[in-house]
Amino acid sequence: MPNYGLLLGCAATLSFTVALVAQPASATKPAKPAHSIEAAPKAVSPNAEKEAAPKSPAPPKEPPITFNSVHVDGPYIAMTFDDGPSAALTPKLLDILAAHHMKVTFFVLGEMVAEHPEILARAAREGHEIASHSWSHPNFAKMSQESIRSQLQRTDDEINSATGKRPTLFRPPYGSITEREKRWIHDEFGYEIILWDVDPLDWKRPGPAVVRNRILKETRPGSIVLSHDIHPGTIEAMPSTFDELEAKGFKFVTVSELIAMATPETPHPKAKPAEKTATKAAPSAVPTSSPGG
């Protein structure tokens, strides 16, 4: 006799299984494929973009063409003498320089070289540097370019004729020259423009002791010292001036030698700006600068 209980149980199990298989696929939520999920782009700060961007190298710094003094490692200075050569005084100065075994730079006037080429030839022969100081000592800042060019070319030619060598340095009369003039003179003649940082004002003829004391007081390593070999008091002051500068440890070189010794100056760290406060500082009753600026 058939087992109806067992048949009914099998039928129930089969119905339940068919119901599960027939359930629609939408009942279970399918997982999203991994590649369909996109991360939101990160916001990049402007500063980060600047830091990430490759830095272009800074353009090379142009070498200076004008010198008042030179930053050097060591007690080196350059003595310079203007407005000669003088028939009476420059030979005396050359004798003093020879006795001290020192070399200087002469900034000469073309018209004086034309009168005394043999003195300039001696100075060059004894190892001194010869440089241009114009033909007749005019104020370049008040002259046309063509007039300046004539002053320089005539002097250049006269120095070359007397010494066999053209100058590479130029000192403007009175130190008077515009920035534009410096540039085109350098570009056209190749001159470096030489001024000074020590001036004993010997052209005022204050006397040998004053000239000496002013030079001793103001001279520092790297100084370019201005004097004139056309004033008797200046020549008289030089032996004791040289002695005392040597006693201080200074060593004498020409201007070109001094420039060749130049070393870069160490930049000083910038001071941090003071923090801003909510309260405004009261104005000072004392002016921040004198009327002269």
| Side chain identity, residue 191 | Y
Which token pair is 73? 């490692």
Active site residue 243: no
- Residue spans of alpha helices (H) in the chain: 4-21, 46-52, 90-100, 110-115, 117-125, 145-163, 179-189, 208-218, 232-247, 255-260
CA distance 16 to 167: 115
CA distance 227 to 80: 6
Q: How many helices (H) and strands (E) does the chain have?
A: 10, 8
Active site residue 228: yes
Query: Cβ contacts of residue 79 below 8 Å, gap of 6+?
Result: 102, 104, 105, 225, 227, 252
Q: Which of 116, 133, 228, 231 is catalytic?
A: 228
- Which residues face 77 on adjacent strands? 252
The burial class, CB within 10 Å (0-12 / 13-18 / 19+), for 17 is: exposed
Q: Which of 82, 156, 202, 229 is catalytic?
A: 82
Cβ atoms of 72 and 44 closer than 8 Å: no
Among 249, 239, 219, which Cα is nearest to 95's? 239
Question: Annotated active-site positions, please?
Answer: 82, 228
